[in-house]
């Protein structure tokens, strides 16, 4: 039995799906069962629990051989994941597979809080003596759906404080595929893998890829870091998160995302997703729908658009 922690998230959900389709029995630690109907439909056993509740972790780990551990970026990440490590030790788990941070950030004195916390959890796992595998992924392509898609679709702008830094972005589903390969083999004990996409590219190149996928103009705006932080604060993001993103952007500008690994191909036998195919797959997320385009065009012309029926009248 494999326990997947973080199964309602981007990586964990795909890990559970891949393991079930490979015939492995899977249990998922779930905080909110209403988010887990798709998992249950796939045949995943659900264990209600929380990383903050040690008893629920002990319960969820009964009869489990391996644990997959990922959770949300959070200032309590090391403390919460540490609870899972303690429970795994108590339950005599045979293998812990943890999603960590991008390699240059994972260090006790690293510049980014979440990277330091990933290091603490890695260190804690190593100290248990339980066989482990740490996956250190690059920048997720899926981040673009949250950060870039709204401004690309609405304004044709890709604003980020990244200079011309090359970043080997990776599809979260490829990280999941690597995790599933690791969890179904005995060959990856006590190993650390960097997991990246197939090539590093700058944000200017990314803008060109998005322009080509959406057949619209997309311009990269290299935002001053202070301005980027202010925009995030105005969006209501908490201070620690704004600071974390600023620290990560500084790391990327210094070249931390440039290294390309062969892990996806080596462990899954197929090449990783390219940014071109990711952009094509998600082109609609980066494209204004017809009504929004009409509203924007009308606004530029001093007109207002009434309702979804898109009748246009002269603004007063």
Ligand X SMILES: NC(=O)c1ccc[n+]([C@@H]2O[C@H](COP(=O)([O-])OP(=O)(O)OC[C@H]3O[C@@H](n4cnc5c(N)ncnc54)[C@H](OP(=O)(O)O)[C@@H]3O)[C@@H](O)[C@H]2O)c1
Decide: is 168 part of the binding site for ligand X (CB under 6 A).
no
199/293 with CB nearer ligand X:
199
Decide: is 245 part of the binding site for ligand X (CB under 6 A).
no
Decide: is 83 part of the binding site for ligand X (CB under 6 A).
no
Instruction: In angstroms, give the least distance from the CB of 316 to ligand X.
Output: 45
Decide: is 35 part of the binding site for ligand X (CB under 6 A).
yes
Residue 306, judged by CB atoms within 10 A of its CB (0-12, 13-18, 19+), counts as exposed
Query: Which residue bears the tokens 């240059």?
Result: 104
Phi first, then psi, for residue 192 (nearest 5°) are -125, 125
Instruction: In angstroms, give the least distance from the CB of 302 to ligand X.
Output: 41
102 and 136 in contact (C-beta within 8 Å)? yes
Decide: is 119 part of the binding site for ligand X (CB under 6 A).
no
Decide: is 257 part of the binding site for ligand X (CB under 6 A).
no
According to DSSP, the β-strands at 132-137 and 66-69 are: unpaired
229/256 with CB nearer ligand X:
256
Decide: is 195 part of the binding site for ligand X (CB under 6 A).
no
Spell out the alpha helix ranges (H) of the chain.
10-21, 37-42, 54-60, 77-90, 113-128, 143-147, 149-155, 172-183, 203-214, 225-234, 239-253, 263-268, 275-281, 290-300
Decide: is 161 part of the binding site for ligand X (CB under 6 A).
no
Residues 6+ apart with CB under 8 A from 118: 77, 78, 100, 101, 105, 106
Instruction: In angstroms, give the least distance from the CB of 116 to ligand X.
Output: 11
- Record the tokens describing residue 199, joined without a space: 């090539």
Judged by CB under 6 A, the stretch of 44-52, 154-162, 222-230, 233-241 that binds ligand X is: 44-52
248/305 with CB nearer ligand X:
248
Query: Which residue bears the tokens 């197929």?
Result: 270
- Provide the binding-site residues for ligand X, judged by CB under 6 A: 5-12, 29, 31-32, 35, 50-52, 70-73, 80, 99, 101-102, 114, 137, 139-140, 143, 172
């Amino acid at each position: 039995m494999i326990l997947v922690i973080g199964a309602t998230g981007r990586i964990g959900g795909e890990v559970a799906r891949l393991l079930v389709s490979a015939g492995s029995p899977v249990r998922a630690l779930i905080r909110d069962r209403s988010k887990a109907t798709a998992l249950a439909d796939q045949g995943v056993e659900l264990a209600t629990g929380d990383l903050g509740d040690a008893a629920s972790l002990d319960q969820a780990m009964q009869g489990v051989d391996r644990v997959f551990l990922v959770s949300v970026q959070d200032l309590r990440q090391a403390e919460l994941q540490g609870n899972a490590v303690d429970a795994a030790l108590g339950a005599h788990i045979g293998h812990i597979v943890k999603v960590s941070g991008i390699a240059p950030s994972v260090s006790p004195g690293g510049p980014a809080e979440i990277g330091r916390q990933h290091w603490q959890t890695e260190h804690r796992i190593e100290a248990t003596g339980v066989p482990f595998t740490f996956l250190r992924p690059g920048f997720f392509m899926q981040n673009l759906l949250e950060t870039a898609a709204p401004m690309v679709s609405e304004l044709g702008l890709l604003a980020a404080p990244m200079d011309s830094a090359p970043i080997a972005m990776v599809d979260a589903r490829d990280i999941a595929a690597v995790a599933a390969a690791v969890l179904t083999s005995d060959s990856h004990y006590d190993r650390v893998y960097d997991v990246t996409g197939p090539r590093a590219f700058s944000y200017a190149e990314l803008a060109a890829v998005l322009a080509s996928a959406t057949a619209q103009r997309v311009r990269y705006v290299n935002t001053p870091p202070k301005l980027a932080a202010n925009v995030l604060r105005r969006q209501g993001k908490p201070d620690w998160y704004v600071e974390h993103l600023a620290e990560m952007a500084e790391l990327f500008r210094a070249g931390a995302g440039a290294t390309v690994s062969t892990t996806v191909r080596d462990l899954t036998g197929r090449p990783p997703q390219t940014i071109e195919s990711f952009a094509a797959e998600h082109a609609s997320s980066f494209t204004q729908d017809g009504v929004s385009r009409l509203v924007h065009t009308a606004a530029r012309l001093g007109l207002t658009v009434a309702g979804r029926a898109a009748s246009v009248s002269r603004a007063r």
